[in-house]
Amino acid sequence: MFRSTPSQETPMRKIPVVLIAGAFAATASAQDAAVASYDGTWAMSGTTADGRPINAELVLKGDGGTWRLYAAGGVARKGNPCLMKEFPVDVQKRTADELTFHVDGTKVVAGCNEFTATLKPAGGNALDGATEGGGKLHIERK
């Protein structure tokens, strides 16, 4: 009778595992670079779904940040309790082709807006997109 002997692992058998691990690490590094490219301060201009102008500042760092609405007519009227408050931002997607984030003003002031926006690169340091409710947004890195 023949006895089966356990195969011995050789250094050559480990090479594919090392190569695969290296490929995953390179992919993760490339994704991290795309993620980091959105960190910073952004000036936003746009319109609500019903056409009223809005201006805001978006500050992003990693998976979060803040959104601050400025007075500039439209929804930003004097006496608006949502003006100049820092609303929390939750970044939901950040790739080289898309930035999606959620702003929840209701966590700071009851009745303030809560929305999700999706933006795509528009050349240079700018992104264009819209909110799920139909508002239009344009942001530029400060």
Q: What is the DSSP string of 9-43?
A: P-HHHHHHHHHHHHHHHHHHHHHHHHHHTT-EEEE
Which residue would you say has higher pLDDT here, 96 or 19?
96
pTM, whole model, 2 decimals?
Answer: 0.72
DSSP strands (E only) in the chain: 40-47, 53-61, 64-70, 86-94, 99-104, 114-121, 126-131, 136-141
The pLDDT, as a whole number, for residue 1 is: 47
Q: How do strand 53-61 and strand 114-121 relate by DSSP bridges?
A: unpaired
Which of 93, 100, 86 has the alpha carbon at shortest distance from 58? 86
**8-48: pLDDT as tens digits:** 555 555 555 444 445 444 445 455 444 547 999 999 999 98
Confidence at 70, pLDDT banded by 50, 70, 90: confident
Mean pLDDT of 63-69: 96
List, for residues 103-132, the tens digit of each pLDDT value. 999 999 999 989 999 999 999 999 999 999
Q: Are 86 and 67 in contact (CB under 8 A)?
A: yes
Q: How confident is the model at residue 73 (pLDDT cuts 50, 70, 90)?
A: low
Higher pLDDT, 133 or 1: 133
| CA–CA gap between residue 46 and residue 75 (Å, rounded) | 11
CA distance 117 to 27: 26
| Structural domains in the chain plus CATH codes | 40-141 (2.40.128.120)
